């Protein structure tokens, strides 16, 4: 785990106040020990992403308030799909083949047919 100073030092142009604003907004959620923050690897990766979005892509805070939850949803859906794929792969061959057939039929349907 890294300290706040360590994290600020890793990103050019990132100040302590900016990092604290990101924490206050809930964009980054490090562990807090009294008045000190401890950043895990995932926190540091998120700081890097936010830093890139705000600095390189010039996204403002209001836009980041919209974009970050969407990215979190995509990440969550990817994890669910991985779990589903593992569950499907654990099934007998006949069940996996039936799932593949059902998916092929579903993919072949034209928009407006069957389930949406």
Beta bridge pairs of residue 31 = 38
Report the C-alpha gap between 48 and 54 in whole angstroms.
Answer: 10
Please identify every stretch of the chain with a pLDDT value under 50, giving residue numbers as ranges: 116
Q: Are residues 38 and 2 in the same domain?
A: yes
Provide the residue range defining the domain that includes 44. 1-59
pLDDT at 115: 53
Does the model's pTM come out above 0.85? no
Q: Which two tokens stand for residue 110?
A: 């034209």
In a domain, 99, yes or no: yes
Count up the domains in the chain and report the number. Answer: 2
Q: Are residues 16 and 48 in the same domain?
A: yes
pLDDT at 24: 95
Q: Are residues 52 and 2 in the same domain?
A: yes
Q: Are residues 73 and 50 in the same domain?
A: no
Entry field: residues in the chain: 116
Q: Are residues 49 and 85 in the same domain?
A: no
Q: Are residues 24 and 52 in the same domain?
A: yes
pLDDT at 18: 96
In a domain, 116, yes or no: no
pLDDT at 112: 61
In a domain, 114, yes or no: no
Within 13 Å and on the Cβ side, how many CA atoms surround 18? 16
């Amino acid at each position: 785990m890294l300290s706040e100073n360590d994290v600020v030092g890793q990103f050019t142009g990132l100040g302590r106040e900016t990092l604290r604003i990101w924490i206050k907004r809930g964009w980054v959620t490090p562990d807090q020990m009294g008045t000190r923050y401890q950043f895990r690897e995932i926190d540091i990766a998120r700081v890097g992403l936010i830093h890139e979005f705000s600095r390189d892509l010039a996204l403002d805070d209001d836009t980041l308030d919209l974009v970050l939850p969407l990215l979190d949803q995509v990440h969550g859906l990817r994890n669910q799909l991985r779990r589903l794929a593992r569950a499907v792969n654990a099934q007998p061959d006949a069940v996996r083949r039936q799932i593949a057939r059902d998916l092929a039929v579903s993919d072949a349907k034209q928009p407006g047919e069957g389930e949406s």
